[in-house]
A and B are shown apart, each in its own frame.
Chain A
Amino acid sequence: EDKVVQSPLSLVVHEGDTVTLNCSYEVTNFRSLLWYKQEKKAPTFLFMLTSSGIEKKSGRLSSILDKKELFSILNITATQTGDSAIYLCAVSGWGSQGNLIFGKGTKLSVKP
């Protein structure tokens, strides 16, 4: 059965800290792994990863995929209070008709 496990489930840090969020997965015919940030409304797309070892970077956020060990990490450096959100990891497989399997998310709280 396809599944996604995120850790930790919640995390409290102070502004300026660096955090690493983890996502491990099992999926048939892996297609892609996606990271989303969800505050109060829509999940906002952050990254899509399809190849191992290639880091994707956007400002203070970066992510990398390890297809051999079946996991991905999302790094946030110099955290700010605006980074407080739930970070969702999702995977899809070829032939799954676009079905995204979501993890339970990591709730990040950044204190001033």
Chain B
Amino acid sequence: DTEVTQTPKHLVMGMTNKKSLKCEQHMGHRAMYWYKQKAKKPPELMFVYSYEKLSINESVPSRFSPECPNSSLLNLHLHALQPEDSALYLCASSQDLIRSNQPQHFGDGTRLSIL
């Protein structure tokens, strides 16, 4: 088990549904990330939050909407997804973006299937 907790572990949803992925860490990290990983491919960065503010949005479609309600939580709201959005969604956190050079630690991911 990792120190970054993601829920749910699996999610199946239709293209008209609205759902949310959740990520939580209690390591006092101030940088949090969402990645998308397709089968047999490396993770691809989607969003970066630093001190609860959106720092990077890697040209992600608006059907993905991130939210960072506090320093421990990171959500990814999903709406009107497409079948090609089926993937493993990974959350990661690190101590800080700027001042410290520390590794990112990943959660176990949410495996998302769009019907």
Task: Name A residues whose Cβ lies closer than 8 Å to a Cβ of B.
Answer: 31-32, 34, 36, 41-45, 48, 50, 88, 90, 97-100, 102-105
- Which residue in B48, B102, B108 is a CB contact (below 8 Å) of A99? B48
Decide: B48 and A98 in contact? CB cutoff 8 A.
Answer: yes
Decide: A43 and B103 in contact? CB cutoff 8 A.
Answer: no
Which B62-93 residues have a C-beta within 8 angstroms of A?
A: 90
Q: How many residues of B contact A (CB 8 A)?
A: 26
Decide: A43 and B43 in contact? CB cutoff 8 A.
Answer: yes
Decide: A98 and B56 in contact? CB cutoff 8 A.
Answer: yes
Task: Name B residues whose Cβ lies closer than 8 Å to a Cβ of A.
Answer: 2, 4, 31, 33, 41-45, 48, 50, 55-56, 58, 90, 94, 97, 101-109
Decide: A88 and B42 in contact? CB cutoff 8 A.
Answer: yes
Decide: B45 and A99 in contact? CB cutoff 8 A.
Answer: yes
Residue of B nearest to A35 (CB): B103
Q: In whole angstroms, how far apart are the Cα atoms of A8 and B88 in the complex?
A: 24
Decide: A105 and B101 in contact? CB cutoff 8 A.
Answer: no
- Which residue in B41, B44, B94, B106 is a CB contact (below 8 Å) of A98? B94
Taking the nearest CB of chain B, how far is it from the CB of A100, in angstroms? 6
Decide: A98 and B104 in contact? CB cutoff 8 A.
Answer: yes
Q: In whole angstroms, how far apart are the Cα atoms of A34 and B42 in the complex?
A: 13
Q: In whole angstroms, how far apart are the Cα atoms of A105 and B39 in the complex?
A: 12
Q: In whole angstroms, how far apart are the Cα atoms of A36 and B102 in the complex?
A: 14
Residue of B nearest to A50 (CB): B101
Taking the nearest CB of chain B, how far is it from the CB of A103, in angstroms? 7
Q: Using Cβ atoms and an 8 Å threshold, which residues of chain A touch B104?
A: 34, 45, 98, 100
Taking the nearest CB of chain B, how far is it from the CB of A19, in angstroms? 20
Q: A42-B90, A43-B106, A103-B42 are in contact. Are A97 and B48 (CB under 8 A)?
A: yes
Q: Using Cβ atoms and an 8 Å threshold, which residues of chain B touch A98?
A: 31, 33, 48, 50, 55-56, 94, 97, 104
